[in-house]
A and B are shown apart, each in its own frame.
Chain A
Amino acid sequence: MNGGPRREAGEAWAFRARVEREAARRFERLGAAISAFDPGSPVPALLERAAEDERRHAALCAELCVAYGQPVDDGVADEPIAPASLGPRAAVLYEMVAACCLTETESVATLATLLSEEAEPRVREVLHEIARDEVVHSRMGWAHLAREAAAHDVSFLSAWIPSMLSGTVDEGLFTRGEPEPDAEALLRHGVLPRSRKREIFVRTLEEVVLPGLESFGVGAGPARAWLAQQSS
């Protein structure tokens, strides 16, 4: 593979390497925070292990990034994302829901879709290794939400889900663009075409994330309105 598709694949893996490094930092911070108010929770231990997973994933993604001829950006950002008005415990819940219930759940769906397609052998190995861990990373969010929902009213999250979603999707996801001639080639290198990515994102939201949130008392109305607005 040469030219544009090669560069696009390299950039996608570079982006993923950065996402994984940032997740490692976030998980370490959240694990320490949860231990302070819920010492009986199994989630901090999972977060600690997940941080190690993410560093390993970052190295795998960086390897592919380099293989496709793109430079690896070693920068790492870890900025808390919860609204300033939330108390410390609610802020942790906000971030766990955003990072794990939404983003990691969407990542599992993306990885499962990529693994259902033909891929280059090394790409497939990397996808497989990452997918196995991301299942646990998504579960950490649902586990924490379950514990918090058993102790508190967590319905305040409902109004914040659109903010989380806006910060998750890239600007062009809902833009109806031109057909993607390199889509088939990119799939072999672990990159979903935009239209497919949008379909997976929306279906995962509608059939996994939002019903999941509702089952814990977090209303999905604002999120459904956000989705309708993006899709119109």
Chain B
Amino acid sequence: MLFKKLFRLLVLGGAMVGTASGCAGASQTLAGAEKTPEGRDGGASPDGGTAKAQDADGGTADAGGGVTGW
């Protein structure tokens, strides 16, 4: 029950905050709708198509990190 509530409160609540001003509606975003052919940066993938995460062995070819919390 806690986790369902957290999903609504955080994920859905956050999506509403993000899309309330000047962007696609939350329902459009959450439905995984087709992306606009031209994004705000001209449709380019924000990573420039260069990101590589894990190689075949599961090792990181280009390390990213995380954020420690409570």
User: Which residues of A pack against B, CB within 8 Å?
Assistant: 16, 19, 23, 26, 37-38, 40-43, 46, 79, 81-87, 89-90, 93-95, 98-99, 102-113, 135, 138-154, 156, 159-160, 162-170, 203-204, 207-208, 211-212, 215-217, 222
Q: Which residue of A lies closest to B36 (CB)?
A: A151
Q: Which residue of A lies closest to B33 (CB)?
A: A150
- CB-CB < 8 A to B50: which residues of A? 85-87
**Nearest Cβ on chain B to A101's Cβ, whole angstroms:** 8
Could you tell me how many residues of chain B have their Cβ less than 8 Å away from some Cβ of chain A?
Answer: 48
A143 to B30, CA, bound (A): 11
- A140-B14, A144-B18, A151-B23 known; A215 and B66 CB under 8 Å? no
A165 to B30, CA, bound (A): 23
Query: A204, B6: Cβ atoms under 8 Å?
Result: yes
Q: Which residue of A lies closest to B5 (CB)?
A: A112
Query: B10, A168: Cβ atoms under 8 Å?
Result: no
**Nearest Cβ on chain A to B39's Cβ, whole angstroms:** 4
**Nearest Cβ on chain B to A192's Cβ, whole angstroms:** 9
Q: Which residue of B lies closest to A139 (CB)?
A: B14
A159 to B15, CA, bound (A): 22
> CB within 8 Å of A: which of B19-39?
19-24, 26, 28-30, 32, 35-36, 39
Query: A139, B17: Cβ atoms under 8 Å?
Result: yes
**Nearest Cβ on chain B to A219's Cβ, whole angstroms:** 11
- CB-CB < 8 A to A160: which residues of B? 51, 53, 64
- A166-B66, A217-B32 known; A146 and B18 CB under 8 Å? yes
- A16-B70, A163-B53, A207-B4 known; A151 and B35 CB under 8 Å? yes
Query: B6, A108: Cβ atoms under 8 Å?
Result: yes
Query: A37, B41: Cβ atoms under 8 Å?
Result: yes
Q: From the candidates B11, B52, B66, name the one contacting A167 in the complex (CB within 8 A).
A: B66
Q: From the candidates B9, B20, B64, B66, name the one contacting A135 in the complex (CB within 8 A).
A: B9
- A139-B13, A142-B13, A144-B18 known; A90 and B70 CB under 8 Å? no
- A37-B40, A167-B67 known; A141 and B6 CB under 8 Å? no
- CB-CB < 8 A to B9: which residues of A? 135
A98 to B65, CA, bound (A): 8
Query: B13, A84: Cβ atoms under 8 Å?
Result: no
Q: From the candidates B10, B36, B52, name the one contacting A208 in the complex (CB within 8 A).
A: B10
- CB-CB < 8 A to B65: which residues of A? 79, 81, 98, 163-164, 167
The 14 sampled A-B contact pairs (Cβ below 8 Å) are A23-B67, A40-B23, A86-B46, A87-B46, A102-B66, A139-B10, A143-B15, A146-B14, A147-B23, A149-B29, A164-B66, A164-B67, A167-B65, A207-B7
